[in-house]
Structure 1
Amino acid sequence: EYRMSQSDWYDEHLAWTPEYEEHGVAIPPSATAVAVPEGWLGADDIEARFPEGTNDATKQLAVGLISRTITDVQEATDLIRHEQEGADPCVMIRLRKKGSSTSSTEGIIYPLLSLVIDNKSDHTIPTVQAQTHDNYRGCPVALPLWPDGLEEGMITAVIDGGADLTGGSRLSWGIPRYQHPDIPSEWPHTF
């Protein structure tokens, strides 16, 4: 019986990470004001970095959804369903503080869908973080909130457009690797 070694499992499931563009796309200020707690970053303090080769429609969709500057569900749908080069709703985005110098393989990665969802805790619990040059774990980000009724429509547009509901990985984000059911329990608890 073949049993995959720990290093083979890692190579197959975790090691491949696409290269990300070195220059990020600045997140513009939103028309919706949000109180940024002390020690947090606002959306206009961060930039989004995309995998190399990401098309302009994907960047436009992502930046518009993160900043909440896309104010019409049809606009999001049109960007995704464009005949020539539609936006990719499965894009995995790295966020970092503007001016941070991180390599193309560093940064906190989020599936686009997760960045469309409002933080319902009034930013008392961080749900999004951005990489900073001096803090590997990242700094909490207070994204603006959607105007009434728009959040559900944007989530639906991204899901209907084909967003990966598993977050783009066989691993669940935030669950330590040794607890994941795909990893045999007899392996050591560290990689």
Structure 2
Amino acid sequence: MSAMPTPTAIRIIREEHQALSAMLSSLHLLLRQHRQDGTPVRFDVLRAMLFYIDEFPERLHHRKETDLLFPLIRARSDSAGEILEKLDRDHGVGERAIRDLEHTLLSWEMLGDSRRDGFEQAVERYLSFYLKHMQLEEEVVLPLAQQVLEPADWAVLDDAFSENRDPLTGHPPSAEYEQLFSRIVRTAPAPIGLGGAA
């Protein structure tokens, strides 16, 4: 018996996880590069990267997981209730954390290098937090979803996640985002350049 094809929503979620992971890794690499080389810090690029994380993963990706994917799984199975509650809490923590990162970056830019360590440490915490979060989703939640969700559920999820159009997963940026993504992709170190975005 042939395996069922991977639902579109699952493919998009994984692509968006890969894009977020790449953006976070590039942010980390850029900070390390500035420190090692003693080059002037590109605050505009750091701001653009944090804005991307806030605008796409936080506002689109995570909200659709919390508002659509997780409730559908809960309706079909009671085996992952605690994990889904934790992931929902993570999404709330993540929204606050990205705002805190943006503020911490601004304080470094406005007040100088005495605030640099605080920002770099906050980036490390955020990176570790989201890598663990995405690993839990990919290793536990997505396989469970593929086991318990029905075709009608996948139709809803496929439509919803297909609207995201994240440029780092290969979609051309809309006119309003074109300059933002051009700045990030031109300046950020590897691994940015997913999905033909570079």
What range describes the TM-score normalised by the shorter chain of this pair?
Answer: under 0.3
Higher strand proportion (structure 1 or 2): 1
Q: Give the TM-score normalised by structure 2.
A: 0.26
Q: Larger helix proportion, structure 1 or 2?
A: 2
State the structure with bigger RCO (CA 8 A, min sep 6), 1 or 2.
2
